[in-house]
Amino acid sequence: MIRPPFFLARRFVAGETLPEAIEVVRRLNDRGLSASLDILGENVKDPAAVRAARDDYVGLLDEIARTGVDSNISIKLTMLGLDVGEAFCEENLHVVLSAGRERRTFVRIDMEGSRYTQATLDLFHRVLPAYGSASDGRGAGVGVVIQSYLYRSAADVQRLNEARARVRLVKGAYKEPPEVAFPARDDVNRSYDELMRELLAGGAYPAIATHDDERITRTRTFAAERGIPVSAYEFQMLYGIRRRLQETLAAQGHPVRVYVPYGRDWFPYFYRRLRERKENVAFVARNLFRE
């Protein structure tokens, strides 16, 4: 596929540099929204490049502390050397998590394709005792992501709840075979709702990451029925998607965090956003026509 010009991705990507991303977070904070900054990139296999990515994460934590913006960070283990080896990745992960702890900034480990799920969870459970989960939603700690389209996720959520881990629940954006993931949208949604209820009832400050009105309504209804306060969980959404809904939920008292990606390696992320929603394709097409 031909790589499009960057201006088409600006709806979904905060910029190619850290200063651009920090400015986006400032604007989100001004609208009552918090953020999670993500340096775009994945599957880094050269050890020197891995160490550079590790140092970029530490630099990001430094800049959040220096500027005082309301943001945590999201990281990918394949940027920290998971394709090189688990031990090498864990060594780099400790560097980032230690930096997060020193700067009182929470670090979320993103979930990637299903071939990395077990290794990601294994590493997460190994580092969790040392760094904690900041289960009140504030301060340092480490969390992870669960994808509702994977068959295995119910068992994973049960173990994570037992560990009092902070979980971001998503549907899943990677193309997966039917042997490991629900192929039908209704089944993915049904799984999402079941996992949402498990996380709200027994988890530690879960992040309900969705742009789906029905999923949001069911989350709010379940929380209200169980007497779960809005301060016990947060909604998360992607930068550039359903911005009015983000502001509406925040105005109603719900903590809302926006996932803000940036960096020069933006095309794989941009392409996944186009695959997810027809509205995203229409938005890009309109802007291409105007240009």
Residue-wise pLDDT for 7-46, tens only, equals 677 788 999 999 999 999 999 999 999 999 999 998 999 9
- Active-site residue set: 110, 168
Q: Which residues pair with 145 in a beta bridge?
A: 168
Query: Does 281 fall in a domain?
Result: yes
Query: Does 1 fall in a domain?
Result: no
Residue 270, classified by CB atoms within 10 Å of its CB into exposed (0-12), middle (13-18) or buried (19+), is buried
Instruction: Fill in the DSSP letter of residue 4.
Output: P
Reported as half-sphere exposure (CB side, CA atoms, 13 A), residue 1 has a value of: 9
The model's pTM is 0.92
Query: Does 175 fall in a domain?
Result: yes
Q: What is the token pair recorded at 259?
A: 């996932």
Residue-wise pLDDT for 123-177, tens only, equals 999 999 999 987 777 889 999 999 999 999 999 999 999 999 999 999 998 889 9
CA–CA separation, 217 vs 229, rounded Å?
A: 15
Query: Does 50 fall in a domain?
Result: yes
CA–CA separation, 146 vs 195, rounded Å?
A: 9
Query: In total, how many domains does the chain have?
Result: 1
Domain residue limits at 147 = 6-290
Task: Determine the residue type at 130.
Answer: A
- The CATH number of residue 261's host domain is 3.20.20.220
Q: How far is it between the farthest Cα atoms of the chain? A: 52
Query: Does 30 fall in a domain?
Result: yes
